[in-house]
Amino acid sequence: MNKKLIWIGGGLVFLIVLLVGLKKAGVIGKEEGTLVTSEAVQLRTITESVNASGKVYPEIEVKVSPDISGEIVNLFVEEGDRVTKGQVLAKIYADIYSSQRDQVTASVNQVKAQYENVKAALSGLRTAYENAKASNERYKKLYADKIVSRSEYEQTEQAFRSAESSYNSAKESIKSGEAQIQGVKAQLARAEKDLARTTITSPMDGIVSLMNVKKGERVVGTAQMAGTEMMRVADMKSIEVRVDVGENDITKVKIGDTALVEVDAYNKRKFKGVVYKIANPVTSAASGLGASTEVANYKVHIRLLPASYEDLTKENSIFPFRPGMTASADIQTKSKANVITVPLNAVTTRDKDGEGKDTKMAVKKEDNKNGDAPAAKDELNEVVYVLQPDNKVKMVKVKTDIQDLNYIEVAGLKVGDKVITGPYSTVSKTLKDGMLVKVVAKEKLFEEKK
């Protein structure tokens, strides 16, 4: 019995020694570590962009309004039709204006006839004036020599004064007639112009981008007020996209920035453009949590480069773009080549004690639209977790710069360092300096976790 107990005791001691040895060797009892994914720090070219949405518009679009009022009796084009400069688009009822023209023409002829009559009489009146003047001077001398009586002299003088008055009156009538002729000619020119304005023509080559009227409708001329906008003619050879950029991003955008534009009508096709104009802000109301604030949006004009859609103009006989098409643009505001980068989801924040907060990873300062308190922001550091040879992580403070959709520039790391990239909750909250981890492929992350 004692011998049997000795064997059992010896076996237990051997087993304990074996287990201790295996544990020290790491064969059993080894910590698995937290499952994570990682990616190496690399040099990349980063292009920062501002995304905005808007619509397609012709760069030049002219409103067509009549100069005179009346009823539309003919409409020769429809929305979408090509037109050329000077082409007749519509006609307004012209009878009233032709009648006015005829009346003024009659007045011109009447005034001209009166003028010619006075002009013809002027020659005879001048001769009578000159004869009366000579006779008066002769009788004046004869009266002085006492050859004729005073009454005879006064008769010749009265005849002279009458002839002089008639002659001067005729000359004034000539001047007045000339002024009347100029006046009625001006009236005739206006009447003819109004008559011509009943024909509406295209101000330029392009397409009818908008039609607001129908045959039979009455329109108001611009001579009286703003006038009826009948239609619009657009030059579709020069296309722009107008997008709304918020006040937080507009400081990044400048004239000359390039842009990649997507138009919904051409799915997954990117067109190249250049920012050529930034308009004044338009404010809109935004509400949240019972409060209403004004948000300023800036209209940014992006000119599409014809070379980027040249193939579409060859394939289609019509213009490839139509006013009002929905579009979105990535305005490329800044670019850096060969900079140290990490994935966006590798960057997170920790307080001074290394504790994770419920904050978004890789949040840039200008993206903080909720106005966090300055004190809270000062306590947070941007950090990444770098994988060490012993499968533990080291928390490293970094300084971030520009970013694109996937990567962000950082300072404080070197090429080849491996940074922890996921899972999100682990990087943003769980990881601590010196924590043991196990790196797995992304597709196996949650499989092994199970």
- Residue 379 placed within a domain: yes
Domain that holds residue 367: 34-46+340-449
Domain boundary among 335, 364, 399: 335
Domain boundary among 284, 300, 335: 335
- 8 Å CB contact between 206 and 234: yes
- Residue 134 placed within a domain: yes
Looking at the structure, do residues 384 and 410 belong to the same domain, yes or no?
yes
pLDDT digits (tens, 9 = 90+) for 321-355: 888 899 999 999 999 999 999 999 999 999 877 66
- Residue 138 placed within a domain: yes
pLDDT of residue 6: 61
- 8 Å CB contact between 195 and 98: yes
Domain boundary among 296, 315, 335: 335
- Residue 204 placed within a domain: yes
Looking at the structure, do residues 223 and 77 belong to the same domain, yes or no?
yes
SS3 labels along the chain: CHHHHHHHHHHHHHHHHHHHHHHHHCCCCCCCCEEEEEEECEEEEEEEEEEEEEEEEEEEEEEECCCCCEEEEEECCCCCCEECCCCEEEEECCHHHHHHHHHHHHHHHHHHHHHHHHHHHHHHHHHHHHHHHHHHHHHHHHHHCCCCCHHHHHHHHHHHHHHHHHHHHHHHHHHHHHHHHHHHHHHHHHHHHHHHCCEEECCCCEEEEEECCCCCCEECCCCCCCCCCCEEEEEEEEEEEEEEEECCCHHHCCCCCEEEEEECCCCCCEEEEEEEEEEEEEEEEEEECCEEEEEEEEEEEEEECHHHHHHHHHHCCCCCCCCCCEEEEEEEEEEEEEEEEEEHHHCEEECCCCCECCCCCCCCHHHCCCCCCHHHHHHCEEEEEEECCCCEEEEEECEEEEECCCEEEEECCCCCCEEEEECHHHHHHHCCCCCEEEECCHHHHHHHHC
Looking at the structure, do residues 296 and 246 belong to the same domain, yes or no?
yes
CATH of the domain at 403: 2.40.420.20
Question: In the predicted model, is pLDDT for residue 279 greater than 50?
Answer: yes
pLDDT digits (tens, 9 = 90+) for 194-226: 888 889 999 999 889 899 999 999 999 887 677
For residues 203 and 84, what is the distance between their CA atoms, to the nearest angstrom? 8
- Residue 11 placed within a domain: no
Looking at the structure, do residues 345 and 330 belong to the same domain, yes or no?
no
Looking at the structure, do residues 252 and 269 belong to the same domain, yes or no?
yes
- Residue 286 placed within a domain: yes
CATH of the domain at 174: 1.10.287.620
For residues 21 and 426, what is the distance between their CA atoms, to the nearest angstrom? 34
Looking at the structure, do residues 157 and 182 belong to the same domain, yes or no?
yes
Higher-confidence position of 328 and 108: 328
Looking at the structure, do residues 286 and 420 belong to the same domain, yes or no?
no
Looking at the structure, do residues 204 and 155 belong to the same domain, yes or no?
no
Q: How many domains does the chain have?
A: 4
CATH of the domain at 88: 2.40.50.100
- Residue 59 placed within a domain: no
Q: Is the dihedral of CA 49, 53, 56, 59 positive or negative?
A: negative
103-117, 122-136, 173-187, 353-367: lowest mean pLDDT where? 353-367
Token pair for residue 242?
């107008």
- CA dihedral (209, 215, 216, 219) in degrees, to 10, reads 30
- Residue 3 placed within a domain: no
What whole-number percentage of the chain has pLDDT above 90? 43
Confidence tier at 246 by pLDDT (50, 70, 90): very high
For residues 262 and 406, what is the distance between their CA atoms, to the nearest angstrom? 19
Phi, psi (degrees; rounded to nearest 5) at 323: -55, 135
Beta bridge partners of 274: 258, 303
pLDDT digits (tens, 9 = 90+) for 388-439: 999 999 999 999 999 988 999 999 999 999 999 989 999 999 999 999 999 9
Looking at the structure, do residues 351 and 417 belong to the same domain, yes or no?
yes
Looking at the structure, do residues 38 and 78 belong to the same domain, yes or no?
no
CATH of the domain at 294: 2.40.30.170
Looking at the structure, do residues 283 and 424 belong to the same domain, yes or no?
no
Looking at the structure, do residues 218 and 191 belong to the same domain, yes or no?
no
56-65, 232-241, 279-288, 411-420: lowest mean pLDDT where? 279-288
Beta bridge partners of 88: 201
121-130, 277-286, 406-415: lowest mean pLDDT where? 121-130
pLDDT of residue 373: 45
The neighbour count for residue 216, using CB atoms within 10 Å, is 9
pLDDT of residue 150: 82
Confidence tier at 27 by pLDDT (50, 70, 90): very low
